[in-house]
């Protein structure tokens, strides 16, 4: 079986920056084991699988070790592929959770609409040991999204998390953030559980950071930089209960994926 495949660097204006994602187009859903095998073979941070449904697309996302319920950077990559190929202005992705994710053209790149993720002040006593520094404030929610506010951009850059400890705590997300210099906001994002790691550029984290920072900045839009080794730049804009995340994408590979069966 031959499947259309793209490797896209999302939230990047050049190759080998931003966050890599695979995009695989299917005629219909393959068994879960086949999707898992493809994602494991590709070894990208996330692979998006697309199935056409009338004027929309069903989407599922997988890492090499698990299925994701939400993946912002791979959704932006899907928009880049579909809008670039079909010439449309916007596309809707339908998730297994019943949400609709919209991607549209904007300012030379794309904007992605995600549900705003709200957090509340909530202590995490082990945060300092896990992250290597003590945050000024900790905000979290029941879905394992966490925001850890630091006093300066330099502190965020200097963080040295204990990834071994993070691998044993569950699939928590640690968005460590401060006011930025070249951008309004800077962050680094660490993900716990199996495969604990630093994420390159994280759409879902900015769906939580957007309402958090919009209140502090006193405005509904701002610029953001995720300070991973690869790095990535985003615009964040609140619109009701949705967050619009803007950025560019770069195609690194376009071709065919050969799958047994």
The lowest-confidence range among 34-38, 69-73, 184-188 is: 69-73
Q: What is the mean pLDDT of the segment spanning 143-170?
A: 96
Concatenating the DSSP letter of every residue in 214-253 gives HHHHTSSEEEEEE-SSS-EEEEEEEETTEEEEEE-EEEEE
The verdict on 131 and 39 lying in the same domain is no
Q: What is the mean pLDDT of the segment spanning 221-226?
A: 98
The verdict on 164 and 223 lying in the same domain is yes
Instruction: Check residue 97 and give its pLDDT.
Output: 86
The verdict on 223 and 142 lying in the same domain is yes
The verdict on 215 and 228 lying in the same domain is yes
pLDDT of residue 261 exceeding 80, the answer is no
The verdict on 102 and 26 lying in the same domain is yes
The verdict on 215 and 176 lying in the same domain is yes
Per-residue burial over 182-218, b = 16 or more CB atoms within 10 Å of its CB, e = otherwise: ebbbbbbbbbbbeebbbbbbbbbbbbbbbbbbbeeee
The verdict on 87 and 160 lying in the same domain is no
The verdict on 108 and 192 lying in the same domain is no
Q: What is the mean pLDDT of the segment spanning 63-74?
A: 92
- For the stretch 16-66, pLDDT in tens is 999 999 999 999 999 999 999 999 999 999 999 999 998 899 999 999 988
Q: 213 is in which domain, residue-wise?
A: 120-237
The verdict on 153 and 250 lying in the same domain is no
Q: What is the dihedral of CA 172, 10, 222, 138, to 10 degrees?
A: 10
Compute the mean pLDDT over every residue in the chain, rounded to the nearest whole number: 96
Give one word for 83, left, alpha or beta, with left for phi > 0 and alpha for psi -120 to 50: alpha
The count of structural domains within the chain is 2
Instruction: Check residue 91 and give its pLDDT.
Output: 97
In CATH, what number is assigned to the domain containing residue 210?
3.10.310.10
Enter the tokens of residue 208.
Answer: 């939580």
Task: Name the band, by pLDDT with cuts 50, 70 and 90, for residue 253.
Answer: very high
The verdict on 52 and 151 lying in the same domain is no
Q: Where are the beta strands (DSSP E) in the chain?
A: 2-10, 19-25, 47-53, 56-62, 67-68, 90-94, 100-106, 109-115, 120-121, 137-140, 145-149, 173-179, 185-191, 197-199, 221-226, 232-239, 242-247, 249-258
Task: Name the band, by pLDDT with cuts 50, 70 and 90, for residue 148.
Answer: very high
Task: Name the band, by pLDDT with cuts 50, 70 and 90, for residue 14.
Answer: very high
The 8 Å CB, 24+ separation contacts for 63-67 are: 63/39, 63/195, 64/39, 64/40, 64/195, 65/40, 65/194, 65/195, 66/171, 66/194, 67/32, 67/35, 67/36
Task: Name the band, by pLDDT with cuts 50, 70 and 90, for residue 217.
Answer: very high
pTM for this prediction: 0.92
Q: Considering all CA atoms of the chain, what is the largest pairwise distance in Å, rounded to the nearest integer?
A: 55
What would you report as the CA-atom Rg of the chain, rounded to the nearest whole angstrom?
Answer: 18
- For the stretch 85-110, pLDDT in tens is 988 999 999 999 888 999 999 988 99
The verdict on 229 and 254 lying in the same domain is no
The verdict on 231 and 126 lying in the same domain is yes
């Amino acid at each position: 079986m031959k499947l259309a495949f793209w490797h896209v660097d999302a939230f990047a204006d050049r190759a080998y920056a931003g966050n890599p994602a695979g995009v695989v187009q299917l005629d219909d859903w393959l068994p879960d084991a086949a999707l898992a095998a493809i994602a494991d073979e590709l070894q990208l941070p996330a692979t998006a699988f697309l199935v056409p449904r009338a004027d929309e697309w069903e989407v599922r996302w997988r890492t090499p070790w698990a299925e994701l319920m939400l993946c912002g950077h791979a959704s932006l990559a899907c928009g880049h592929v579909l809008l670039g190929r079909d010439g449309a202005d916007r596309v809707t992705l339908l998730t297994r959770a019943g949400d609709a994710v919209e991607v549209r053209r904007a300012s030379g790149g794309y904007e992605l609409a995600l549900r705003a993720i709200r957090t509340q002040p909530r202590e995490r006593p082990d945060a300092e040991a896990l992250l290597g520094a003590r945050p000024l404030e900790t905000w979290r929610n029941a879905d394992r999204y966490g925001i850890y506010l630091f006093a300066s951009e330099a502190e965020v850059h200097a963080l040295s998390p204990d990834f071994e400890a993070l691998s044993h705590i569950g699939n928590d997300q640690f968005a460590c953030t401060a006011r930025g210099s070249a951008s309004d906001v800077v962050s680094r994002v660490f993900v716990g559980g199996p495969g604990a790691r630093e994420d390159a550029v994280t759409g879902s984290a900015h769906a939580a950071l957007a309402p958090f920072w919009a209140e502090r900045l006193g405005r509904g839009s701002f610029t953001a930089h995720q300070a991973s080794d690869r790095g990535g730049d985003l615009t964040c804009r609140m619109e009701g209960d949705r967050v619009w995340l803007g950025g560019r994408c770069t195609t690194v590979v376009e071709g065919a994926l050969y799958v047994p069966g």
